[in-house]
Amino acid sequence: MVKRHFDYEEKYRSLREKFQELKKLSQSMDFDLNQEFKRLEDKMEDIRGDKYHNLSPWEKVLLSRHSGRPVVKDYIEYLFEDWIELHGDRSYGEDRAIIGGIAAFAGIPVTVLGHQKGRDTNENLKNNFGMPHPEGFRKVERLIGQAEKFKRPVITFIDTPGAYPGLGAEERGQAWAIARVLMLFPRLQVPTIAIVTGEGGSGGALALAVADRLLMLSNSVFSVASAEACASIIWKDAGRAEEMASYLKVTAQDLSELGIADEIIQEPIGGAHQDFTDLADRLKKSLELNLKQLMALEMEQVLEQRYQKFRGVGRFLE
């Protein structure tokens, strides 16, 4: 049975609780074991650090889906000023699985878009677990068109299992809505930066990832299909998802080697949810540097670099 939950941190917390109980017991018995406890604590942290620096692809998939990971609203609140959320696709309705709006970053007006998961079960249900409907992608189309009109750079945050595959979504033109966004992003006359913060799955993630720079958190993943779906298609067995994850090359490190990810933002030991402030500060520095580099170029240069970037990926994969 394939493991469905990343439980290493829970085991670590359980071990630390037992360790603290042992320390209290030694103090009550008047034993001076402070040096020995310090040595054991340091060793525990070293083992933990080694573990997180050597996670398997499947463990990274599980960690990217961790329920405690920051959601896009957390990043928006920390990184941007003067945030104004914009709603609707002007055609069908509002899709809560994609959040979009305008804000200021480092004094620069920007358009921000991202997949919005929930912080709890109720929010996840309201946001369809971050799986957009066609109206979500049409919202993206509307807002990037507006960004181009007013010369605002576009910053996207990617964290989704994929676009919603339900009957209603297909009836309302899911594939066409994604295709429209995929067609428009490469032609956009403003700088674009995409950040994979968690799980980047299928066309739903790709729609927001065709950017001048693709940044990935170190425990995030990005793939044309989930490991479970791919194992079901290739081997007719979703239970081999762990094995499939290693073949798909889904990790930030794999995608950096393939020339798809431009930069990896290192997460704290234990994952992004362990120290959000530290992670967000690192991301802020990277975003500011990349945005200023792109804005220093003429638009013709940005478009040429964008073209060569994706042509290079295509050549590499041939």
> Is the per-residue pLDDT at 110 higher than 90?
yes
3-state secondary structure the chain: CCCCCCCHHHHHHHHHHHHHHHHHHHHHCCCCCHHHHHHHHHHHHHHHHHHHHCCCHHHHHHHHCCCCCCCHHHHHHHHCEEEEEECCCCCCCCCCCEEEEEEEECCEEEEEEEECCCCCHHHHHHCHHHCCCHHHHHHHHHHHHHHHHCCCCEEEEEEECCCCCCHHHHHCCHHHHHHHHHHHHHHCCCCEEEEEEEEEEHHHHHCCCCCCEEEEECCCEEECCCHHHHHHHHHCCHHHHHHHHHHHCCEHHHHHHCCCCCEEECCCCCCHHHCHHHHHHHHHHHHHHHHHHHHCCCHHHHHHHHHHHHHHHHHHHC
Side chain identity at 45, as an amino acid letter?
E
Spans of all domains in the chain: 68-317
Model pLDDT for residues 189-229, shown as the tens digit of each residue: 999 999 999 999 888 999 999 999 999 999 999 998 888 88
pTM of the predicted model, to two decimals?
A: 0.86
For β-strands 213-217 and 192-201, DSSP reports them as parallel
Give residue 35's pLDDT. 65
Q: Residues 125-155: pLDDT tens digits?
A: 999 999 999 999 999 999 999 999 999 999 9
Q: Is the pLDDT of residue 285 over 90?
A: yes
Q: How far is CA 311 from CA 140, 192, 318, in A?
A: 24, 17, 11
Q: Which CATH architecture has domain 68-317?
A: Alpha-Beta Complex (3.90)
